[in-house]
Amino acid sequence: MARVDTGRLHVLGVRHHGPGSARSVGVELERVRPELVLIEGPPEADALVGLVGELAPPVSLLAYVPDEPSRAAFWPLAAFSPEWVALRYAARHGVEVRFCDLPAAHTLAGHGPAEPAVPQQPGRPEPDAEGGGDGAGAAGAPCPGRAVADPLAVLAEAAGYDDPERWWEDAVEGRAAVPPDASACSGAASSPFPAIAEAMAAVRAESGARPTAAAATREARREAHMRRVLRKAMRSVAGPVAVVCGAWHVPALLEHPRVSEDTALLRGLPKTKVAATWIPWTHGRLASASGYGAGVRSPGWYHHLFTAPDRPVERWLAEAGRRLRAMDQPVSSAHVIEAVRLTETLAALRGRPAAGLDEVADAAESVLCEGARTRAHLLHREMALGERMGAVSEHTPQIPLQRDLAAQQRRLRLPPRAQERELDLDLREETGRRRSALLHRLRLLGVDWGTAREGSVRARGTFRESWRLLWRPELDLRLIEAGVWGTTVEAAAAARARSSAADADLPGLTALAEQCLHADLGGAIGTVVSALRARAAEDADIEQLMAALPPLARSVRYGDVRRSDSAALQGVASQLLARIRAGLAAAVAGLGDDAAAATVDAVDGVHEAALLLGGDDEAAWLSALEQVAVQESAPGRVCGRANRILHDSGRLDGTALAARLSRAASRGTPAARTAHWIEGFLAGSGLLLVHDTALLGVVDRWLAGLGAEAFTEALPLLRRTFGAFADAERRAIGDSARTRGASGTADDVGVDSRRCAPAVATAAGLLGLAAAGPEPGG
């Protein structure tokens, strides 16, 4: 090993997304005034550094394989990231910047689409093959000759800490801010980088040789490439060179092996074509809770520490008080003062050099929220995350599909935001229809920017849609993936729909037709309808036909609302309904209980579809149901449901219905079939029994006439039926039954008052009415 001459080389070991590290990097760069800055990151991004002055963090470098965009890697940067501070310094002072990590062309060549390459957390080694992670590991000294999964844990233990995150915050992130224009002398005196380099060298030396696992090999290759870039940089400039990299890599850049050894490590690496760009990022995706291996627990707190000019604890608690007052909570200045004092006391009791987020959170809960844990938790989560979304400039490299979407977002006044928001659209207005079409087109492309509220798109007779909008950084990658379908959102969605129609089954085709109408894709609906007509002519499965009709009927119904032509779908829908009518009676014969339950749901869906189609289609469907309603081989659930639909449609009057129910509840009919008939008849609403006392009487007499065994068999089915009713419906049915009993109808079913007396007395006792005693003659 040969040690590099550090006279003009300054290796700044940092932790990714660390405000203390970022602040120290800014001070050190001002002191050193380097001629060239090297930053740990993909060299493919060298051409993008000129855009740094036009970006608003958080942003992320995105490298992807153009022919297979799902193979991608992200390098997120926040305002408090040391790498971002270095980039901003170079942009302000006109200093050359190069990225020095292993090219993404190599790293992405070895990853499949299900395993995107993600950089590990700087300052910690890449996880080994035995499961070592790049998150906080358990404290403990490394075993000689084994990898150190978490060097911070080793250093924290040496310092007497049981939490490596807290040690790093106390030692580095919580360092007092140094003014940017501080003298070189004071900057040098306060620089933490020599100590960090020494500490990491000790940890690496104690860990011994790295194992030959794949992860260790990747790390060795990364460091070999960094050294190669560093050697070239030192030859290309005569002035100082600064390197901003993960603290773990500092010893590897200061102690150089022979060039031949690095060349051997890098020889023969796989390579692929890679494109790179900037994309907006969010604090939510910087948080470790999102699954990001290099994430931090509280990006909002770190952003505050980095941007607060002075007194960060006081400013944080003052902001917490302001937010609580906005929620109508009585928080005064005295509360904030006492909370600040409590943070200082807690920090002293816990042996911390300064109050951190834990102390601030405890003080906010105890003083500002007066012990209300739920309120404090919501406040802490909102502030500690500090959700914000970055922005990129119009000069940032983008594919045509991204540019088209950005233009439409500006035109429709729908800016992407990291916070979830509600959007209500009136489809009678041009702007509402265009916004709806854009959101539906993006969903066809797999870009789920908007999520439709349940029922808002499919509800019958409405001109409104309700959406929840939330832009996530990974949607940019999905846009890039969707770029293969076209250069505009409309063209790409239409091409995707035409491609999907080739392989979709019948229900899938009808759902696709519905999506095309919602998305106003006139160029694709013809292809989908042709495929739908051909598939409908071939498909003989009644279940498939019944599942396919409802979305198709909705498409016919809502073509007018969105001013789209759905006439082509009307004939296909009528054709499907005719085939369902012809095969319904045979399809329901002899079904089991489980299959009957699914068929009832399908019948309800087809009935809704027939109502949407209207006219002759609706009348013909009701005629088909009349045949099923009296079919002896049909399950009880299906017969009961058919009779209920006929009654609600005016095809079956009360007298005829009571007669059919009486036959279904006759003594010769098994109790289970009768219970299923009633279940199918009453599914969804039991108010019919309240308003039609004749039907209630039939059910009442049937129940009273059951023997013990039959009653036991039917009871669970009836409990399931009546249990699905609303409380008000059950109460109304009970009141109606009690009214019948009071009028003497109860005598018809043979109620024995003497035998009922013990049960009545027990119920009265439970209700606290025992003191009143039984009524005379009871």
Write down which residue in 441, 469, 489 finishes a domain: 489
Distance (Å, whole) CA 12 – CA 245? 6
Lowest mean per-residue pLDDT among 103-117, 440-454, 603-617, 695-709: 103-117
Residue 349: the pLDDT is 92
Range with the lowest mean pLDDT among 22-31, 125-134, 254-263, 370-379?
Answer: 125-134
Whole-angstrom Cα distance, residue 637 to residue 677?
Answer: 5
Pair 284, 314 in one domain = no
Question: What mean pLDDT do residues 7-30 have?
Answer: 90
- Taking residues 721-743, report their average pLDDT: 70
Q: Which residues contact 319 (CB under 8 A, 6 or more apart)?
A: 383
Domain count within the chain: 3
The reported pLDDT for the residue numbered 461 is 46
Is the pTM higher than 0.75?
no
Domain co-membership, 203 together with 350: no
Decide which of 443, 469, 489 is a domain's last residue.
489
User: Which pLDDT score, from 0 to 100, does residue 38 have?
Assistant: 96
With a CB cutoff of 8 Å and minimum separation 6, the contacts of 41 are 61, 75, 83, 99, 100, 101
Higher-pLDDT residue of 192 and 686 is 192
The listed range with the strongest mean pLDDT (146-150, 287-291, 300-304, 596-600) is: 300-304
The reply to whether 623 falls in a domain is no
Of 355, 385, 415, which residue is a domain's last? 385
Same-domain pairing of 190 and 322? no
Among 188-197, 201-210, 579-588, 766-775, the minimum mean pLDDT is found in: 766-775
> For residue 260, is it within any domain?
yes
Q: Quick one: 484 and 367 in the same domain?
A: no
The Cα 479–Cα 400 span in angstroms is: 10
424 and 380 in a common domain: no
Judge whether 631 lies within some domain.
no
Query: Tens digits of per-residue pLDDT, 269-302?
Result: 999 999 999 999 988 888 877 777 777 888 999 9
| Same domain for 165 and 31 | yes
277 lies in the same domain as 323: no
Same domain, 281 and 320: no
Q: Same domain, yes or no, for 36 and 11?
A: yes
Q: Which domain holds residue 378?
A: 308-385
238, 330: one domain:
no
Average pLDDT in the chain: 80
* Cα–Cα distance measured from residue 73 to residue 69, given in angstroms and rounded to the nearest whole number: 10
In a domain, 696, yes or no: no
Q: Does 55 reside within a domain? A: yes
CB atoms within 10 A of CB 694: 14
**Residue 277 sits in the same domain as residue 317:** no
Q: Percent of the chain having pLDDT more than 70?
A: 82
- Whether 332 and 448 map to the same domain: the answer is no
pLDDT band at 771 (very low <50, low <70, confident <90, very high): very low
The reply to whether 24 falls in a domain is yes
Indicate whether 124 pLDDT > 70.
Answer: no
Residue listed under structure tokens 């009136």: 426
**Rounded Cα distance, 280 and 286, in Å:** 12
Angle of the 489-501 helix axis to the 400-411 helix axis, nearest 10: 120
Please indicate, yes or no, if residue 658 is contained in any of the structural domains.
no
Distance CA 448, CA 461 (A): 26
Q: Is residue 659 part of a domain?
A: no
